Chain A
């Protein structure tokens, strides 16, 4: 079946630190991979995506590369800001199941000045 496992939180970093949030997946087919961000009290916002192996998704300084050989899609940012504090969800979309989304449990990030 399909599943997503992501790094447990919470993660606390100082401003301008390097961020990595690990995400690995299990899929029966050829999924698309996503990172969503959820700010307190809000719904999910699409941060970036990659639809095939070796694609790199990027947005707002965040990036992630679709690694089929390691079934991973780790999120990275070179220099975090206080405004990046949020919960980050890794997800996959499986075309074999009508593009149903499977989410990880989320990783809470707090950036301190």
Chain B
């Protein structure tokens, strides 16, 4: 059973740019969630995808968007980057059988200058 993987591990962007982060879910998992973890804070829910449709969204602006693909990989896109977007971005996957438990990837650390 493969775990959740994310790419890239680190990324540096400048304000105003756009970024795409990628996640590959654990085998057999059809739900993926994305979280933003600022330094010294707990993860904050951005949104969740189930069967390629957005299935819930946290308090994040529309410039945060996502996609889920038929093979259950997914992307997080952030447009018009701001300095406050600097954070660790985590994706987490879960299965239909055990929906209440999510398994997290190692994260992508984004620095916006």
Contacts and interface: CB of A to CB of B under 8 A. Distances in A.
For A36, A51, A95, A101, which residue has the most chain B Cβ atoms within 10 angstroms?
Answer: A101
Interface residues of A, number: 25
Interface in A24-51: 32, 34, 36, 42-46, 49, 51
A89 B42 contact: yes
B45 A105 contact: no
Contacts of A102: 45
A106 B56 contact: no
B90 A44 contact: yes
Interface bracket on B = 20 to 34
A103 B100 contact: no
Nearest to A45: B104
B90 A43 contact: yes
Contact of A98 (B35, B50, B92, B105): B50
A103 B56 contact: no
B42 A43 contact: no
For B44, B50, B100, B101, which residue has the most chain A Cβ atoms within 10 angstroms?
Answer: B100
B106 A43 contact: yes
Interface of A: 4, 32, 34, 36, 42-46, 49, 51, 89, 91, 93, 95, 97-106
26 contacts: A36-B104, A43-B4, A43-B90, A43-B104, A44-B90, A45-B104, A46-B104, A93-B100, A93-B101, A95-B99, A95-B100, A97-B56, A98-B50, A98-B56, A99-B31, A100-B33, A100-B58, A101-B35, A101-B43, A101-B92, A103-B43, A104-B42, A105-B41, A105-B42, A106-B41, A106-B42
